[in-house]
Structure 1
Amino acid sequence: MNARALWATMIVLTGAYGQAQAQSSVQLYGIVDGGIAYVTNVAGGHTWMQTSGVGQADRWGLRGQEDLGGGYRAVFRLENGFTLNDGRFSQGGLEFGRQAWVGVASDRFGTLTFGRQYDFMVTNLTAFTAGSLTPSVLAFHLGDLDRLGAERIDNAVRYVTPEFAGFQFGALYAFGGRPGSFVSNSAASFGVTYGNGPFKAGAAYVELHDYTTLFGIGTSVLGKPLIGTLSQGLLPRFQTFDKLTVSGIGAGYQWGPANLHAVYTAVIFHQHGQSASLRTAEGGIKYTVSYAFSLAASYARSTLSENGWNQFAAGGDYALSKRTDIYLHAVYLHASAGVRAQIFSLPASSSTKQTVISLGMRHLF
């Protein structure tokens, strides 16, 4: 091969490699969120604390795709959660506790993924909640039992269809991994979303066998005490139920600068042939005052047997740039007599009332 032919071959190969690289990508991303908070009642006393991930949970991750040809793409995501206060891993110390999955995607046939993933309560309904729109993770519901605050499922196979006339459907199944029992520790989830201009809606269902509750709600359920007195609102002793089923429906409407949103969820505990239902209805509004400044307010009512909770959330968010903002939020929870108020991820109050006011800064990269 002469020199001219060699150079021509190298140019062709380099161009082909560059084209392949252009069709594939890997992105590093993350959120760093920190601030201070004042809580009116933690085990009987007022307290100030440094906060981590109140506006949005701290994380960093890698996501990417590779063109496989024929309209197919290999896709993956690895996402780590951490606490800004001390640099530790979140999600029980897992390295990629927020998400860890790989799969294949097609505009024509949908997306199939395998790994640690969200169920459809998260992906289909969180956009209609105060916890997302205020934004304040403390505005999510009791113990996050309705899973709107981003709970995950291990060993999951997840499929989402392409969009059809505004509709998109999904299904998930998680293998329990216990030898000799196909059902133990398994989970299943289904969901649907719909979008038409300013109107968005979603519905979801998830069923979890041998479910372990980590966070407290300030009272007992089917004889199991769910009062979180440890840091981050965790139970002194985690409680396991035979089965937990969660369902919900939500919607949002963008009316000029106002985003009106509502969500309803039902959590059913199953234990030794008995059941108990925790139901929550929430409505709220987020109003964009200007490009940089927004206000939000919401109200949620939860009921469990004769017990009831009223939760109010309000906040303001100001963008310093496209990637950095500051926020001021407040959440107030009032429980019925005999129930200790416990705002999600905070230790239980000694009374029926609890308020938290948080000031923070969030940076996205």
Structure 2
Amino acid sequence: MNGTGNPVVSDQLRRARETLPAEVFAYIESGSFGEESAREAAGAWARYRFLPHALRDVRRVDTSVRLLGSTFASPIAAAPSAFHALAHPRGEAASRAAFGKDGSLFIASVRSSLPLARIAEAGAGDWWYQTFAMRDPGPALDLVAQARDLGATAVVLTGDTPVVGPKYRVAGRRIRVPDEQFFSNVPAGPGADQRDFPPLEESPAATVAYIRRLRAACGLPVLVKGVLRPDDALRVLDAGAAGVIVSNHGGRQCGRAVSTAEALPAVAAAVGGRAPVLVDGGIRSGVDAAAALALGASMVLIGRPVLWALAAGGEDAVLGLLAALRGELEQMLALLGVPDLAALTPGLLRSQGRAEDLLPAEAGRWAAPPMPT
């Protein structure tokens, strides 16, 4: 839960801490239970070490990626995160505009501060919409269809939150936000209470059958977020998911969940190129991104750093964040002796200080999945 690794990220974290109200900063930074998973996220990527090639022609390197039929200038995308207006008055409009200008993917949260129509019109390029399996599915499915009509090209189903993990740093509760932000995308009748509002409450009864229900409601590809196990990855793909997102929800739900840096290799190996595998959690630099991509991720998502950047300087600061991360990734490609993302493979990595170190002789069984089209 720190900005080490890239000076722009570290500076924006510092400025966010100085700028935001203490309770808002605590909400953004909080993890669940003892916060072990949230604390370990960034450091887990730092356990990997690279085995770069020498004397390769890298005068030109390419960070573009093609995913689900769209091409993005960078594999660094916005993870869905709630209530961007807590960090900046323009909220998701500022962050969506920045990712659009960068040519990168923005994923809007069901708990966005702004109505979906305002988010959709705020920037260019592809965007996706994230939802949960709700106790009252009707409004949630209506919103998925609305997102499609507004131009969303895929839906992300967060599947790791049957109940909400307690955030002891903020007294175990969700932070209260202005009603117009909390209910921005769900019509709320008189007396609606943020503490108990079924259209925004996750269902503990949800199963993989909800994937088909989402697909039927919108006709868009559905990716499942919150996958940490290879068997779950295969199960959701068999149920119709178009991809998986390796995520432990930023350490905000299951206590002591394994880090995504540790979970990613086995999930990517199990999927074996059948569908795209994305990852979030603790990505704080282009070096982290390079490691994740080499381990089999098609794209990496950033969450808290976007909110830090918004607090530090709105849209311009988010653009600065994306430029810094992509610049580092370009440098890493050159230094690793690879010209593009497809050339990032597990054979470029070792895991430091672990019995199951990935050795070059083993790299063949973890061949990088082909880039989906």
Structures share a fold, TM > 0.5? no
Counting helix residues as a fraction of each chain, which structure ranks higher?
2
Of the two structures, which has the highest relative contact order with CA contacts closer than 8 Å and spacing of 6 or more?
Answer: 2
Task: Give me the TM-score of the superposition, normalised by structure 2.
Answer: 0.25
Task: Give me the TM-score of the superposition, normalised by structure 1.
Answer: 0.26
Say which one has the larger Rg.
1
